[in-house]
Amino acid sequence: MPVIYHNLTLRPGKKEAELLKLCERKLHAPVRYFRILKKSLDARDKSNIKWVYSVECSSRPEQSPARTYPRITRPAPKVFIAGAGPAGLFCALRLIRHGIQPVLLERGKPVEERAEDIANFFQTGVLAPDSNVQFGEGGAGTFSDGKLYTQTNSAFHREILETFVEFGAPEEIAYLGRPHIGSDKLRLVIANMRRYILEHGGAIRYSSKLDDVRLKDGALTALSVNGAWEEASLLVLAVGHSARDTFELLQNRGFHMEAKDFAVGVRIEHLQSRISRAQYGEGYAALPPADYKLVSHASERAVFTFCMCPGGVVIPAASEEGGVVVNGMSNFARDEKNANSALVVQVKKEDFGEGALAGVAFQRKIERAAYLAAGGGYLAPVQLVGDFLAGKESYYFGEVRPSYARGTAFAPVDAYLPPDLCASLRAAIPDMALRLSGFSSYEGVLTGVESRTSSPVRILRGENFEAEGISGVYPCGEGCGYAGGITSAAADGLRIAQTIASKYL
């Protein structure tokens, strides 16, 4: 039986082969099997920064047991999955492993063509409404950071990480304390998942938008894709948090849904070197680019950082004409000059007014305001942190230059965010600087608007995971209000697939 050792430490710069020697001393025998279970950086004491490991080892050759899945024993009806983001892809992969060949309906394009459309938008400002940072194969997270952090203790977490590695992600994501794939590598992983699905009998239809459903006696009987109807009795709704037209369709067809709390704000940029120095001290150059996670309760509304991208860039993330949306993105190397993070304020459903889609209307309002504040063309409004705190206009940049690819225009945050949200941000930034030196630096840059942190709606489902009062339809993932990020969305996709397959085992 392998032995597990916790709290083995190495100083930065030391090779992990040293861990083998540590294990051999503990085992009093040569190591024939070795696996890292967890690796995290302990930087609490800047004079003694160290990597901390948990490892599994043995003096005998061992083999990790292969994951197995029960196969269905009865024929299952055709399963349609609307959306090929993490929820939809992982749902499809798990169904295939149970012996069910699903049909994925993706309104956008394959990830390679999607990347071309995104690059064209960054350069020209010509937006493809169904092929952009929000829509297309891989989902919104593909063109973010590929971060796999999660605060949920899902039983599926290990399976998700191992699946990403199986399809080409770096092996280290299986054990790093804060794993990330990087947008550049995640695109290759998504393409490998696609090939597996197709080779095992699944189907993927691109540029295929779910535009209607037909119900009879509380059950799904048909769906319409690009205006063409076909019979259907099982549909997984994995449409993503920006599928506003789909939310409207479902509301019109009588699906029970409600507005939910989410958060909006800006992207804040600093020099990565200053963030790393603040987190690690003067020895930061020998360490990975530092990240941070901050929360402030300095006002009545919680303010927090979200989707922090070390060595990354701020990207244009619009999916509708005439609205500016920003997001953050890092490649695997995280070697860009700036660090950026969403800096967002909690907004409650009571803030929007009545109606399940009131949060969508609120998002559209601030996105349009940001577009107009910057003068159109999908330029983003920017303001220096110091000027924002002082209530002054910005006219020039300091050491931090914005990384937003479409270009920027000086405009105050107050031009697109409501006064109470701006007040909360003004209280939070200096409060956060008490925990991260330099966070309130005058020359930091605020870029707006960060409005797509999570879905503004929840499509209600019962204990059987089917839509409330409607059989055969399974709301799934972040768009339907049951996840918040790549890992939790993938977990919900696995959960739905397991539920469907269990009926035919």
Q: Tell me, yes or no, whether 223 and 235 share the same domain.
A: yes
Domain boundary among 410, 425, 450: 450
Confidence (pLDDT) at 284: 83
- Give domain status of residue 66, yes or no: no
Three-state DSSP state, 198: helix
Going residue by residue through the chain, which has 505 residues, state the pLDDT in tens, using 9 for 90 and above: 899 999 999 999 899 999 999 999 999 999 999 999 999 999 999 999 999 999 999 999 988 778 899 999 999 999 999 999 999 999 999 999 999 999 999 999 999 999 999 999 999 999 999 999 999 999 998 887 666 766 655 679 989 999 999 999 999 999 998 888 988 899 999 999 999 999 999 999 999 999 999 999 999 999 999 999 999 999 999 999 999 999 999 999 999 999 999 999 999 999 999 999 999 998 888 899 999 999 999 999 999 999 999 999 999 999 999 999 999 999 898 999 999 999 999 999 888 888 999 999 999 999 999 999 999 999 999 999 999 999 999 999 999 999 999 999 999 999 999 999 999 999 999 999 999 999 999 999 999 999 999 999 999 999 999 999 999 999 999 999 999 999 999 999 999 999 999 999 8
Three-state DSSP state, 296: strand
For residue 346, the surrounding DSSP H or E stretch is strand 338-347
Q: What is the CATH number of the domain that holds 41?
A: 3.30.70.2700
Three-state DSSP state, 40: strand
Q: At what angle do helices 486-502 and 157-166 cross, to 10 degrees?
A: 100
Confidence (pLDDT) at 446: 99
Q: Tell me, yes or no, whether 98 and 230 share the same domain.
A: yes
Confidence (pLDDT) at 87: 98
Q: Per the structure, how many domains does the chain have? A: 3
Q: Tell me, yes or no, whether 210 and 326 share the same domain.
A: no
Confidence (pLDDT) at 147: 67
Q: Tell me, yes or no, whether 321 and 295 share the same domain.
A: yes
Confidence (pLDDT) at 152: 58
Q: Which residues of 116-155 are buried (b: 16+ CB within 10 A; e: fewer)?
A: ebbeebbeeeebbebbbbbbbbbbbbbbbbbbbbbeeebe
Q: Tell me, yes or no, whether 395 and 496 share the same domain.
A: no
- Give domain status of residue 40, yes or no: yes
pTM given for the model: 0.95
Q: Tell me, yes or no, whether 28 and 165 share the same domain.
A: no
- Give domain status of residue 144, yes or no: yes
Question: In whole angstroms, what is the distance from residue 425 CA to residue 388 CA?
Answer: 9
Length, in residues, of the chain: 505
Q: Tell me, yes or no, whether 396 and 467 share the same domain.
A: no
Domain that includes residue 19, residue range: 3-58
- Give domain status of residue 64, yes or no: no
Confidence (pLDDT) at 337: 97
Q: Tell me, yes or no, whether 157 and 196 share the same domain.
A: yes
User: Using CB atoms within 10 A of its CB, is residue 216 exposed (0-12), middle (13-18) or buried (19+)?
Assistant: exposed
Q: Tell me, yes or no, whether 105 and 224 share the same domain.
A: yes
Q: Tell me, yes or no, whether 106 and 194 share the same domain.
A: yes
Q: Tell me, yes or no, whether 145 and 203 share the same domain.
A: yes
Question: In whole angstroms, what is the distance from residue 267 CA to residue 307 CA?
Answer: 10
Q: Tell me, yes or no, whether 185 and 265 share the same domain.
A: no
